[in-house]
């Protein structure tokens, strides 16, 4: 890969694996920021394994900091949280494999239903207790949730299910399609629909449901969207999609230098030789690539931190490796490089990497591969 003039260090040095470190203290600080913005209950959404940070670790830190609910994608994710001793209410609202009513009841998991068909599939099953249900209404996404013209049918079916003792409607939910704009006028149509849905539920004789609409951006920017509860997910990891609030980065991705070499000017680097050194320099290799979540397409600005200095990533990202230009420094084997971490003025942040890759931070933290060791700070 690299034209070598110098000699790389002996490989007898013990090398730590690439590591994603989760920082519970930062998660607690992010919950505190959310708490300062709302009087509503806070649900800590820990789907996608806690946005790549470890669902149990994130959940424990969030609950310790004052979150009162947990949210997951699928019922199958809940037992792990219960086994960790977490007893707060859990809501799951996507359930791509369908709802297992017995598992939901046994695990004390609330479920969301977004269509008459979904609710009927639940009512056809038997469970030891009435299932706690949140009616999921489409408030402007056309992605999930019950369309407005079917609300009456879903509410009527839920009312019938309550009479049969099979379900109990305890919640009402929707989504804000334009929350990232941090504009109350953009959110107003969804807020109006949520209020309309709540009136319809109560007019049908159901008890006033716990209503929730806002995710992280809405939590941080628009109190009118908060209702009885907010769903704080990306914010736990330090990601504010609205880019209005400075949250605390909750993870640090590091990797050891596994090879270093001195090269001459005019040396092509990596597959295709897309980068050629302009002067004599030193190059180091990190054992991370696109199989580990490093985006293959990144801008020339991408860099990592070593010993308090940023060094650019050069050449193409490989499946298993990236190359760093360390300039005049021949970096010893085993030296730790920080790919991203909490903002300190030098270390690249996850938002920096998202900008360099032309994507959003969520993609990066949820895409860190299984070869990367997970630890807790």
Task: Give CA–CA dist 346/351, Å, rounded.
Answer: 13
Q: Check 166, 271, 275, 373 and give the catalytic one.
A: 271
Alpha helix (H) ranges present in 38-130? 47-51, 55-64, 78-83, 101-106, 116-123
Are 71 and 90 within 8 A, CB to CB?
yes
Task: Give CA–CA dist 1/320, Å, rounded.
Answer: 13
The helix or strand, by DSSP H or E, that contains position 376, with its residue range, turns out to be strand 373-376
Pairing of strands 281-286, 322-327: antiparallel
Q: Check 47, 166, 275, 290 and give the catalytic one.
A: 47
Are 172 and 210 within 8 A, CB to CB?
yes
Are 43 and 211 within 8 A, CB to CB?
no
275 is catalytic: no
Task: Give CA–CA dist 374/377, Å, rounded.
Answer: 10
156 backbone dihedrals φ, ψ, rounded to 5°:
-65, -40
Positive or negative CA dihedral for 262, 263, 269, 270?
negative
Task: Give CA–CA dist 179/3, Å, rounded.
Answer: 50
How many C-beta neighbours within 10 Å does residue 103 have? 15
The 3-class secondary structure across 14-61, one letter per residue, is CCCCCEEEECHHHHHHHHHHHHHHCCCEEEEECHHHHHCCCHHHHHHH
R_g of the chain computed on alpha carbons: 24
47 is catalytic: yes
Task: Give CA–CA dist 330/266, Å, rounded.
Answer: 18
Are 348 and 268 within 8 A, CB to CB?
no
The rounded Cα 155 to chain-centroid distance in angstroms is 31
The residues annotated as belonging to the active site are 47, 271
């Amino acid at each position: 890969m690299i034209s070598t003039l110098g000699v790389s260090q002996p490989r007898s040095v013990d090398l730590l694996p690439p590591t994603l470190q989760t920082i519970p203290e930062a998660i607690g600080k992010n919950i505190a920021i959310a708490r300062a913005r709302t009087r509503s209950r806070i649900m800590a959404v820990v789907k996608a394994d806690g946005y790549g940070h470890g669902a149990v670790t994130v959940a424990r830190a969030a609950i310790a900091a004052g979150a009162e609910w947990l949210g997951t994608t699928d019922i199958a994710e809940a037992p792990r949280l219960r086994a960790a001793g977490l007893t707060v209410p859990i809501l799951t609202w996507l359930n791509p494999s369908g709802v297992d009513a017995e598992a939901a009841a046994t695990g004390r998991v609330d479920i969301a239903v977004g269509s008459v068909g979904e609710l009927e599939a639940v009512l056809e099953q038997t469970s030891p207790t009435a299932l706690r249900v949140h009616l999921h209404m489409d408030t402007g996404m056309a992605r999930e949730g019950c369309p407005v013209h079917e609300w009456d049918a879903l509410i009527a079916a839920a009312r019938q299910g309550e009479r049969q003792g099979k379900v109990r409607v305890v919640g009402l939910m929707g989504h804000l399609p334009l929350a990232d704009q941090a504009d109350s006028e953009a959110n107003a149509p969804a807020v109006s629909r949520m209020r309309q849905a709540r009136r319809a539920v109560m007019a049908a004789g159901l008890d006033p449901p716990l209503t929730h609409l806002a995710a992280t951006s809405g939590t941080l920017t628009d109190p009118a969207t908060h209702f009885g509860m907010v769903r704080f997910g990306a914010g736990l990891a330090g990601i504010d999609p609205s880019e209005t609030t400075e949250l605390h980065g909750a993870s640090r991705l590091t990797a050891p230098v596994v090879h270093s070499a001195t090269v001459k000017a005019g040396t092509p680097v990596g597959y295709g030789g897309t980068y050629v050194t302009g002067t004599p320099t030193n190059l180091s290799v990190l054992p991370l690539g696109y199989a580990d979540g490093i985006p293959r397409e990144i801008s020339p600005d991408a860099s990592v931190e070593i010993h308090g200095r940023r060094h650019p990533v050069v050449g193409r990202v490989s499946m298993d490796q990236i190359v760093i230009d360390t300039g005049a420094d021949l970096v010893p084997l085993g030296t730790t490089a920080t790919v991203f971490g909490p903002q300190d003025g030098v270390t690249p942040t996850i938002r920096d990497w998202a900008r360099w890759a032309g994507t959003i931070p969520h993609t990066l933290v949820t895409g860190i591969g299984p070869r990367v060791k997970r630890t807790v700070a």
